[in-house]
């Protein structure tokens, strides 16, 4: 056997012996770790530390509670002014709490984007836009300011005519209302397109009697919304009005 082979064999033997010896090492007795933890967390050691931090913690908590209570009071004044009652008030209180949290945790460069996203979430929940804006102003935040609106009016004919042709490719929230303001009934089609030059998809086709209205809110992605109208009866035109709002 060469000297190299002999030395290698000795190394392997020593390595195996070390492993066997390690396995024979005594383990910690059951409960030893628990005893160590009990000693480290004994009241005699922790009490001076906690006592030294208690005053500072109390001041910070008192400051936040005072601020939150003041915000609740101002939110209540806003809700009273808008006549919001019952459990609906909790929705706006939750919104105020989220605005408060953002104001304390997000930097000024990013808070406006976060506040806008939270505000739109509460719009989905059915909250009133004007109320949300007033609450956000308590935190010096201007949200939901890109809300726009428009109207269109006309008179039906015996053929289908376009009452509204709306490019909605850059619009997230869309609400529209069609009203029959004349003395005869009208037929209408509410049409959407997934792509701007794509196929018409008739979402609703119905008849509006004099004074009746049709309202639709579209919060899904679509590139185009079209409303078509025509007289229900030949040679009996009626006037119509479309109102739409978006952001």
What is the per-residue pLDDT for 181? 96
Quick one: pLDDT at residue 152?
Answer: 94
Percent of the chain at pLDDT > 90 equals 48
d(CA 26, CA 53): 41
Q: How much is the pLDDT for 210?
A: 96
* Per-residue pLDDT of the chain in tens (247 residues, 90 and over written 9): 554 454 556 666 666 665 555 555 555 566 677 777 777 777 777 777 777 777 777 788 888 888 889 999 999 999 999 999 888 999 999 999 999 999 888 877 788 888 988 998 898 788 888 899 999 999 999 888 777 788 999 999 999 999 999 999 888 778 899 999 999 999 999 999 999 999 999 999 999 999 999 999 887 889 999 999 999 999 999 999 999 988 7
Q: At what angle do helices 129-137 and 88-105 cross, to 10 degrees?
A: 40
Contact 216, 190 (CB under 8 A): yes
Grouping H, G, I as helix, E, B as strand and the rest as coil, residue 69 is helix
Reported as a single tens digit per residue, the pLDDT across 185-227 is 999 999 999 999 999 999 999 999 999 999 998 878 899 999 9
Q: What is the DSSP letter of 31?
A: T
The span from the CA of 231 to the CA of 208, in Å, is: 10
DSSP-assigned beta bridge partners for residue 244: 150, 176
- Residue corresponding to tokens 């009005």: 241
Q: Which residues contact 182 (CB under 8 A, 6 or more apart)?
A: 155, 156, 210, 237, 238, 239, 240
Domains and CATH numbers, the chain: 44-137 (1.20.58), 148-246 (2.60.120.510)
pLDDT of residue 93: 93
pTM, to two decimals: 0.51
**pLDDT tens per residue, range 118-130:** 998 898 788 888 8
Q: Are 241 and 173 in contact (CB under 8 A)?
A: no
Task: Write down the pLDDT at residue 7.
Answer: 58
**Secondary structure class of 163 (helix, strand, coil):** strand
If you average pLDDT over every residue of the chain, what do you get?
85
For residue 52, give the 3-state DSSP assignment.
Answer: helix
């Amino acid at each position: 056997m060469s000297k190299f082979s002999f030395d290698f064999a000795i190394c392997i033997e020593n390595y195996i012996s070390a492993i066997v010896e390690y396995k024979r090492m005594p383990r910690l007795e059951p409960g030893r770790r628990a005893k160590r933890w009990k000693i480290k967390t004994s009241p005699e050691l922790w009490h001076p530390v906690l006592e030294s931090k208690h005053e500072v913690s109390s001041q910070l908590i008192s400051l936040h509670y005072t601020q939150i209570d003041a915000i609740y009071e101002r939110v209540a004044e806003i809700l009273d002014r808008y006549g919001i009652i019952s459990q609906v008030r909790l929705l706006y209180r939750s919104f105020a709490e989220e605005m408060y949290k953002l104001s304390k945790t997000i930097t000024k460069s990013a808070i406006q984007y976060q506040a806008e996203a939270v505000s739109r979430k509460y719009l989905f929940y059915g909250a009133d836009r004007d109320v949300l804006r007033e609450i956000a102003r308590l935190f010096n935040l201007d949200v939901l300011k890109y809300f726009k609106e428009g109207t269109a009016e006309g008179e039906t004919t015996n053929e289908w005519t376009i009452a509204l042709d709306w490019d909605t490719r850059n619009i997230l929230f869309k609400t529209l209302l069609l009203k029959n303001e004349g003395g005869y009934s009208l037929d209408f089609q509410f049409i959407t397109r997934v792509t701007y030059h794509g196929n018409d998809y008739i979402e609703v086709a119905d008849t509006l009697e004099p004074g009746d209205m049709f309202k639709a809110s579209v919060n899904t992605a679509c590139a185009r919304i079209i409303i078509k109208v025509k007289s229900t009866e030949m040679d009996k035109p009626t006037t119509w009005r479309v109102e739409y709002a978006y952001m």
